Structures are given as C-alpha cells and as structure tokens.
Amino acid sequence: MFSSFFSSSSYLVLVAITIAVLTLYPSNAQLSTTFYASTCSNVSSIVRTVVQSALNSDSRIGASLIRLHFHDCFVDGCDASLLLDNSGSIQSEKDAIPNKGSVRGYDIIDNIKTAVENQCSGVVSCADIVALAAESSASLSGGPSWNVPLGRRDSLTANQAGANSALPVPFEDLATITSKFSAVGLDTTDLVALSGAHTFGRAQCSTFSSRLYNFNGTNNPDPTLDSSYLTTLQQTCPQNGDGTVLTDLDPSSADTFDKNYFANLQNNKGLLQSDQELFSTAGAATVSIVNSFSSDQSAFFTSFAQSMINMGNISPLTGSNGEIRADCKKVNGS
C-alpha cells in the first residue's frame, strides 16, 4: 500500500517535472510533418502552387529558394532571420557579404506568405514557408520530394555578423567547409548531398574567377579545372571583366535537379573551387560519396531529402519562442 502510493506519487512528480521542463524549454520540441493538420492543412499545396507559378516565369527561382533556406538555417537556425529588413535594431543578414546582391527570391516568399495568410491567417511561420518552398523547388524541378517537418517559429532578431562567419565561402578548403557544416550538426554525407543543390541555378563570375587566371598566386589556372571548360569560363568571365555576369552551376542540365553535378566533378567540371574539392581533394572521405551519387540518382535523391530534413532541423524556434510574423520582412509590431 505504502510502496504503491510512493511509486505513483513519484510518477506524478516525474510527469510534473517533465511538463515544467517542456514549458520552460519548448525549443526542445520536435518539428512534425502534421504540425498544421488542423490549422492549415493545405499549406504545402498553397506553397507549391505559388512556387510553380514563379518557376513558369523564372526557371532559376527554384534554385534561389533552396539556397535561401540554406542561408537562413546556417545562421542561428531555420528561423527566417534572413528575411528581416534593416530597421531600428536590425542589421539585416540580407546585407551580409555572402547574401548581398546574391540571395534572391525574397519577393516569392512574400507572395507565398500572402497566399497562405489568405487561407489561414496568423498560423504559419515564415521559417516553415521557406522550408516548404525549398521542398517544392526540388520536387518541381525533377528532384526528390519529402514530407517537410514543420512547427518552426520566426526570430525576433537577425545576425549579420553570424551570416558573415557561418556561411561557407567558395574559396575555402574542404576542411574549413566541413567544419562549418559540423558546427551546425551536419556531417560529410550531408555536405556532399547538399552540395548537389548546385545541380541547378547560377553563379556570378566573382565567385569562381580566381580559378581562371591566377589561382592562389600561381599565375596559372586551377589545375583541377578541365581545359575546355576553362576556355569556356574564360570567355564568360574575362580578366578584370564584370564580376556579376552569371553562368550555370551545372552546364549539362542548367535548371533540372539531377545527379549530373556529380559527373561534372568527376570530369573536372565543378564550377566553384568548393565543388571540385569534394572530388579532387586527395584521400578525402567525400570522393567515394561523389562517386556513389554519380552512379546512382536514387541514392543521391534519398540522401538529399534526408540531408534537407537534417538542415531544416538546425535549432528551430518552437513552442512559445519567437513568433509567427505577419510580414516576413519585419518583426511584429515594428
């Protein structure tokens, strides 16, 4: 009698402590693919419809939207911090070096937000819209689809300095880029799979021209660059020319999400130094992963979907942390 009273009361204490901890630290809550099942059950198809119509007039926008999610998640987690404009205390991430004049698609996120608000007002976060837009972008471009874990909330701040330090730079070596991924809990397989997003979209000459003429002060091009591809790139990006000129990240299928990116690397036709390093760094663990994705598109697609989920799980705000922004560009009430 006493012992059963004791064990049931200690059980109640345990339950009470658990509830208290979950209330105090709601950010421990998991995202869920059914988060909006009762509040906005159509949200995925609303997002998909707007992304499809954006793709109809801009074949590049899917690539841009996937990148937007990446550049949000790597800086303080997937919390839509990237979407905030400059204002009073906010120094925007948009103006950080890797983003300014480079990240695009903010207008499409606003269009999606408007469409979502029209059907379910005040419940869907901008951070979840970005995650859903990334999935639609991959699947509508020929890539994998996956159920997106949801329930993120939107930040109250931006972190411009964080964007300048946490995002990988195309001139960094593989060890540095690997450490930036591991800093957010992503491993080498995630790095290779997610780099496969360079299967579509564009890059500006300024992001790879250091490879074309005087690589690392050698007065020669990057030796890991295929010579005919080098000639093509030199024509697109003449020395001291316009650094904003665009070229395809994957010239073999510019707007399609496929495994060709990995064959490009095997053929010394990676556009960015950070791309080619995945295959050309002697002894690196990434080499065999590139080879396996190059030979098996479904292996790449399965890994890509899982790694996008992993990236989408980077320290989200959940529970009562953050807010559901009414306008993705600004904190509520500002």
Rounded to a whole number of angstroms, the minimum distance from the CB of residue 288 to ligand HEM is 18
Token couple for 290: 């590139």
Closest Cα partner for 222 from 287, 168, 272?
272
Based on the shown chain and the rule CB under 5 A, indicate whether residue 154 belongs to the binding site for Ca ion.
no
Q: Which is nearer to ligand HEM, 157 or 302 (CB)?
A: 302
Q: Per-residue x/- marks for Ca ion, 184-223, CB under 5 A?
A: ----------------------------------------
Amino acid type, 260: N
Report the distance separating Cα 283 and Cα 290, nearest Å: 13
Q: Which one, 92 or 156, has the nearer CB to ligand HEM?
A: 92
Q: Which residues pair with 204 in a beta bridge?
A: 246
- Least Å from the CB of residue 238 to Ca ion: 37
Nearest residue relative to ligand HEM (C-beta):
201
Residue type, 16: A
When CB distances are held under 5 to 8 angstroms depending on the partner's kind, the choice from Ca ion, ligand HEM, none that residue 79 binds is Ca ion
C-alpha distance from residue 310 to each of 111, 251, 254 (Å): 26, 28, 26
Give residue 200's Cα distance to chain centre. Answer: 14
Hey, what's the torsion of the CAs at 165, 171, 177, 183, to 10 degrees? 0
Whether residue 69 is annotated as binding a ligand: the answer is no
164: its two tokens: 């300048």
Could you say which of Ca ion, ligand HEM, none residue 277 binds, taking C-beta under 5 to 8 angstroms by partner kind?
Answer: none
Q: Segment near ligand HEM (CB under 6 A), from 35-43, 199-207, 220-228, 260-268?
A: 199-207
128 touching Ca ion, by CB under 5 A: no
Angle at 190 between CA 109 and CA 55, to 5 degrees: 30
CA gap 192, 188 in Å, rounded: 6
CA dihedral (213, 219, 225, 229) in degrees, to 10, reads: 30
Task: Quote the least distance from Cβ 205 to ligand HEM, whole Å.
Answer: 8
What separation in angstroms does the CA of 231 have from each of 7, 186, 225, 238, 243?
77, 35, 10, 10, 17
Distance in Å, CB of 154 to Ca ion, minimum: 10
User: Would you say 311 or 331 has its CB closer to ligand HEM?
Assistant: 311
Examine residue 186 and tell whether it contacts ligand HEM (CB under 6 A). Answer: no
Give catalytic status of residue 69 as yes or no. no
Q: What's the closest the beta carbon of residue 229 comes to ligand HEM, in angstroms?
A: 17
DSSP 34-76: TTTTTT-TTHHHHHHHHHHHHHHH-TTHHHHHHHHHHHHHTTT
Q: Is 247 annotated as a binding residue?
A: no
The binding track of 32-71 with respect to ligand HEM, each residue x by CB under 6 A or -, is ----------------------------x--xx-xx--x-
Q: Residue 90 pairs with which residues in a beta bridge?
A: 87
Asked whether residue 327 is marked as a ligand-binding residue, the answer is no
Q: Which residues bind ligand HEM (CB under 6 A)?
A: 60, 63-64, 66-67, 70, 102, 104, 168-170, 177, 194-195, 197-198, 200-204, 207, 249, 272, 274
Residue numbers annotated as active site: 71
Q: Which residues fall in the annotated binding site for heme b?
A: 198
